[in-house]
Structure 1
Amino acid sequence: MNKFAKVAAASSLLLLASACGGGSDDGSADGGAPEEMTVWIMGDSQPHIVEYFGEAEAAWQEAHPGSALNVEFIPWPDVQTTLTNALAGGDSPDVIEIGNDQSSNWASQGALVDITETVDAWDEAADLDQNALEFASYEGSVYGVPWYSGVRTLYYRADWLGDLDIEPPTDWESLRDAAERINEEHDVPGFCAPTDFTNGIASFIWSNGGEIAVHDGSAWEGRLTDPATREAIEFYADLSADGDVSPSAALGANENDGCLNDMANGNLGMYIDGSWARGAWEGVAEDPAVLDQIETTVLPGADGMAPAFAGGSNLSVWSTTENPEAAAELLQLLAGKEWGDRFAETAGFFPAYPELLEQDKYTSDPLKAAGAEQMTNTQFFPATPNWNSADQEQKILPKAVLEIAQGGDAEEILAGYNDQLTEILNTPVE
């Protein structure tokens, strides 16, 4: 049976998009896998992703004839509700995509299977990005395998920098200098520094040798008041506050709301975004020719390339699967070098295997080369379920930067938010 291939051939993009799954059949196709394996993927169904899974199903069926893949797409706005319902006993998958910053959250709730032994026995796991693999762990056990990654880089108007006879920025000093000169020459902000942008702000902190928080073995300790962290935050806040350097609309905004439209329409010189930005520009650009003038480079740090947060997703085994061994095998297929690399390329991201970043398809593409290089210098946020509360709910770092950019006392502001950050990160996980 090739259920997926039949669905993939259908014209509707939403035939596979569902917020509830069917689970696995009780019947066994070949003694090693059930007649159907359910996979939940985050986001909307897209033709190229559907095609990928059709091909992956064929590879799965080489080892398990008659075992089909039932792939269901969960729109991002529905993820929290859908997974909560699944955990409460609703329809659920065998294998699931989980945002890498959500892995510890769902692991702490008992939603994911401990796959430490599976990973230890899997040869390809040794070649994965080991920091990303550690980020997929919780309390010493592995609950996910990195599937793909995405990093942010610095996008800039190459024609404007060329006319000014200056190179793309490589550090903070050259970033500010380029931004100021763009403003003088073109009367538009030179660099967009949105305050609701933890990923970007973190790169400034890390590049200066600072940390957001550290774990001493028994507890989390906020580091917003450390000199290196404070210096980076003040530098970024100063960029945000300077209306000639950064758009005033970026105060209190994220990169999508405060920067993207201006970049796509020739009203901005530089900003930080991911490899997915090109598609977003095409949706808002009044003159598509502007987009051909935009190039990208690695993130400029205090002195050289800054680390970037390696966003992306893991593949995990859902705790209620009736076929844990088959689910672990399917996870290894999809997250292995061949199919992991295929998905990364298909989805416009980067593979979770550092050695694969050296392939020509990444290094020779002008818009991918910088990302591939940036992938060699990444860092991760505190690996605790409480990080989501500190960042997404309380927005501790964005609020601190905004208040400082608006003229508040940095020492006092950071001391208060550091206490709040430490308290949240050390809240017992229920």
Structure 2
Amino acid sequence: MRFPKIAAASAVVLLAAACGGGADSEGGGDADSLTVWVMGTSQPPLVEYFDGAEARFKENNPDVDVNVEFIPWPDAQESITNALAGGDAPDVIEIGNDQVSGWASQGALLDITEKVEGWDAAAEIDQNALEYGTYDGVQYGVPWFSGVRTLYYRADWLKELGHEPPATWDELVTVAEDIKDEYDVPGFAAPTDFTNGIASFIWSNGGEIAVQNDAGEWEGKLTDPAAVEAVEFYASLTTDGISPQGYVGENELVPLADMANGQVGMYIDGGWALGSMEEQAENPDILEDIVAAPIPGADGIAPAFAGGSALSVFSTTQHPDLAFELLTVLGDQEGGKGYADTAGFFPAYPDLLAEDEYQKDPDRVAAATQMQHTSFFPSTPRWTAADQDNKILPGAVLEIVNGGDPEEVLAAANEQLTEILNEPVE
């Protein structure tokens, strides 16, 4: 198996000739090799995983090699855009699960609806995650792995205070206040530029961000009472002094550094944050006392955005049938679990999450539990414009923290959200 070393520039990948200019009705005929684009950087455990995946694929296709090319996440946009323009293109590609609809709308991904319907493993995948891989009712992506955010907390401090990890909003406030009183640091961090965190509070209160009606139009739901109450509560964590002013306008990276150095008692982030904490901790011993728990909601565990990646067949492949067969090898229970475990995520198969390796491992149990309480952002290419470009939710929270009337702020935000989500897809 070939693993080109793709460094900072995706141009290295794009120098080669294109894989092909379109699929034929018979699946492309004979193939010597298939190419998979994986987002990230090559690491020995990942190389070993793909060696095993290639061996499985070759059981039925002994004459077909599998070439894996690693594309750094910052270069993904340019790489895929160039592939669409006729540059080097993959047969199978990893796509962020919140990017499937966007790339599908631009013609980068192949319609795999019928193939997925005939794939037995599809019935075992998280059905909400599978639905998130559709665009306009067409299946373009299959969940590969998932990752969620959880609540990180100082276990030693909570033990000394006689508290369990907070499971509700009321408990979150109580524990945070006690941490501040006892240790003279903020008890909880609520950065305002944090859509994922804000969304969890909305979802936990029974609210939604936006829904699609029967006519296919998007309707913002930020003015619904459940959403208003949740956003007000999240903003109040700052205005009431639970979370410090220093996190206003910031994302979760600032409290990450503070958590690693004993300057905050609790904050929300993903499992991937632990590596950054190790790099930033001045006293590594502190990390032994940082533990995770599910995110507290209004009355129990809050849903978290089920981040992760999907596997798709690239639209220009000359071998669509073989490409989908390779996708199934990577994405079935064996392949999906194998990659998730290797890369530090979770498989997209709910039944697997009940196994002891997830439920009894203290380093994984919180996220495994959280994985059973998830939700998704609006499945539309326009979500990127609403969130990343216009920061509608973070902007609303920021305005409220700075003194804006919650109902007025959210009414304006909801109007903007509805307008953007319904704009034509270019």
TM exceeding 0.5: yes
**Partner residue of 1:41 out of 35, 38, 42:** 38
**Partner residue of 1:300 out of 296, 313, 316:** 296
Letter aligned with residue 291 of structure 1:
L
Deviations 1:337-394 (A, max 9, x none): 0010000000110000001111222112112101111111111111111011000111
Pairing 1:154–2:160 present:
no
2:383 is matched with: 387
Letter aligned with residue 149 of structure 1:
S
Structure 2, unaligned runs of 5 or more? 22-27
- Structure-2 change in CA distance of 1:66 and 1:45 (3 Å): same
1:211 is matched with: 208
Secondary structure at the aligned position of 2:68 is classed as: strand
CA distance in structure 2 between the partners assigned to 1:320 and 1:72 by the alignment: 17
Secondary structure at the aligned position of 2:275 is classed as: helix
- Structure-2 change in CA distance of 1:338 and 1:22 (3 Å): farther
TM-fit CA distance, 1:16: 12
1:418 is matched with: 414
- Structure-2 change in CA distance of 1:13 and 1:48 (3 Å): farther
Give yes or no for contact 2:35–2:66 (8 Å, CA) kept in 1: yes
Secondary structure at the aligned position of 1:69 is classed as: strand
Give yes or no for contact 2:303–2:374 (8 Å, CA) kept in 1: yes
Secondary structure at the aligned position of 2:363 is classed as: helix
- Structure-2 change in CA distance of 1:409 and 1:106 (3 Å): same
CA distance in structure 2 between the partners assigned to 1:16 and 1:333 by the alignment: 29
- Structure-2 change in CA distance of 1:115 and 1:285 (3 Å): same
CA distance in structure 2 between the partners assigned to 1:136 and 1:100 by the alignment: 7
1:62-73 aligned at under 5 Å gives the runs 62-73=59-70
Deviations 1:181-207 (A, max 9, x none): 100100101011011111111010011
1:246-265 aligned at under 5 Å gives the runs 246-256=243-253, 258-265=254-261
Computed over aligned residues only, the root mean square deviation of the Cα atoms, in angstroms, reads: 1.9
TM-fit CA distance, 1:247: 3.2
Misfit runs of 4+, over 2 Å:
12-26, 240-243
Letter aligned with residue 105 of structure 2:
S
CA distance in structure 2 between the partners assigned to 1:331 and 1:67 by the alignment: 14
**Partner residue of 1:145 out of 134, 137, 142:** 142
Secondary structure at the aligned position of 1:325 is classed as: helix
Give yes or no for contact 2:29–2:319 (8 Å, CA) kept in 1: no
CA distance in structure 2 between the partners assigned to 1:422 and 1:327 by the alignment: 37
CA distance in structure 2 between the partners assigned to 1:238 and 1:262 by the alignment: 21
CA distance in structure 2 between the partners assigned to 1:14 and 1:387 by the alignment: 30
Give yes or no for contact 1:151–1:371 (8 Å, CA) kept in 2: yes
2:71 is matched with: 74
CA distance in structure 1 between the partners assigned to 2:240 and 2:333 by the alignment: 45
**Partner residue of 2:278 out of 277, 282, 290:** 282
- Structure-2 change in CA distance of 1:355 and 1:57 (3 Å): same
CA distance in structure 2 between the partners assigned to 1:342 and 1:144 by the alignment: 19
1:314 is matched with: 310
Letter aligned with residue 304 of structure 1:
G
TM-fit CA distance, 1:408: 1.3
1:82-161 aligned at under 5 Å gives the runs 82-161=79-158
**Partner residue of 1:235 out of 224, 233, 237:** 233
Letter aligned with residue 49 of structure 2:
Y
Deviations 1:293-335 (A, max 9, x none): 0111111000011111100000000000011111010001100
Secondary structure at the aligned position of 2:206 is classed as: coil
Secondary structure at the aligned position of 1:147 is classed as: strand
Give yes or no for contact 1:136–1:144 (8 Å, CA) kept in 2: yes
Letter aligned with residue 390 of structure 2:
Q
CA distance in structure 1 between the partners assigned to 2:59 and 2:7 by the alignment: 27
Deviations 1:242-275 (A, max 9, x none): 44x223231111111x210000111110001111
Secondary structure at the aligned position of 1:209 is classed as: coil
1:198 is matched with: 195
TM-score (structure 1 length as normaliser): 0.93
Give yes or no for contact 1:16–1:73 (8 Å, CA) kept in 2: no
Give yes or no for contact 2:157–2:179 (8 Å, CA) kept in 1: yes
1:225 is matched with: 223
Letter aligned with residue 323 of structure 1:
H
Letter aligned with residue 169 of structure 1:
P
Give yes or no for contact 2:53–2:330 (8 Å, CA) kept in 1: yes
1:343-358 aligned at under 5 Å gives the runs 343-358=339-354
Give yes or no for contact 2:9–2:75 (8 Å, CA) kept in 1: no
Pairing 1:375–2:371 present:
yes
TM-fit CA distance, 1:46: 2.0
Count matched residues.
417
- Structure-2 change in CA distance of 1:247 and 1:66 (3 Å): farther
1:325 is matched with: 321
Percent identity among equivalent residues?
Answer: 61
Letter aligned with residue 59 of structure 2:
E
CA distance in structure 1 between the partners assigned to 2:148 and 2:404 by the alignment: 31
